[in-house]
Amino acid sequence: MDLLNVVQVYINPLFLSLVLLFSLLIWLKPAKKKNLNLPPSPPKLPIIGNIHQLGMLPHRSLRDLSRNYGSLLLLQLGYNQTVLISSPELVKEIVKNHEIIFSNRPRTTAVDMLFYNCGDMAFAPYGEFWRQVKKISVLELFSHRRVNSFQSVREEEVELLISKVRGACLKGESINLSEMLISVSSNIASRCILSHKSEEEDGCSKFGQLGKKLLVLFTGFCIGDMFP
């Protein structure tokens, strides 16, 4: 059989259909059952699992799933198994007795690209590097002395916010409280870190807008995260 015939066989629709069917059967082949005490799980579809149940408002969809299946349930999001916990008591139990097991944050494409392969304290995997970064942060950033040293900055920014709200009320103007709170938090962080306020455009903080864009990227859907 020459090369042309081999190529014709591989591009034959029937052959491709058989390959696809065979791959799907392997994917759907039930694994050997193990004696695992897994949480309850809502019905799922092949390959995508429970992704279709998240909806346009995932926080409300997860709330509804918790009401139907309990405060502890297992979701299959593509290739990833995810445990959903909606009970403060269970969260307290995990943090108190199983902290190391659940200490790692999900490593996504957006986090890898924006935080230099999870090189920050929030998303770094649990280990020696994370412990050293946490130690430095606690001693140099979050200590009682350091937090108190910026008390005047927080008070000034809150007073400015109250003055803006009072002025708008006296003039009968409407305000965007969400944007104002984002601006205040951005100015506090900027003054504590860079010693000056973050620039504003039309009353909106550049840092605040950048933070909102980062949140959109963090919560966005990436097919590579669900099907690595």
Q: What is the mean pLDDT of residues 23-39?
A: 63
1-15, 36-50, 102-116 — which is least confidently predicted? Answer: 1-15
What local confidence, expressed as pLDDT, does residue 159 receive?
A: 94
Q: Does the pTM exceed 0.75? A: no
Token output for 147: 């937090």
What local confidence, expressed as pLDDT, does residue 7 receive?
A: 38
Question: Is residue 48 predicted with pLDDT exceeding 50?
Answer: yes
Based on the number of CB atoms within 10 Å of its own CB, is 99 exposed (0-12), middle (13-18) or buried (19 or more)? exposed
What local confidence, expressed as pLDDT, does residue 109 receive?
A: 87
Nearest alpha carbon to residue 152 among 196, 192, 183, 106:
192
The residue type of 195 is S
Question: Is residue 5 predicted with pLDDT exceeding 70?
Answer: no
Token output for 141: 């950033």
69 in Cβ contact with 182 (< 8 Å): no
* Ranges of each domain in the chain: 36-102, 150-219
3-class SS string, 44-63: CECCCECHHHCCCCHHHHHH
DSSP character for 39? P
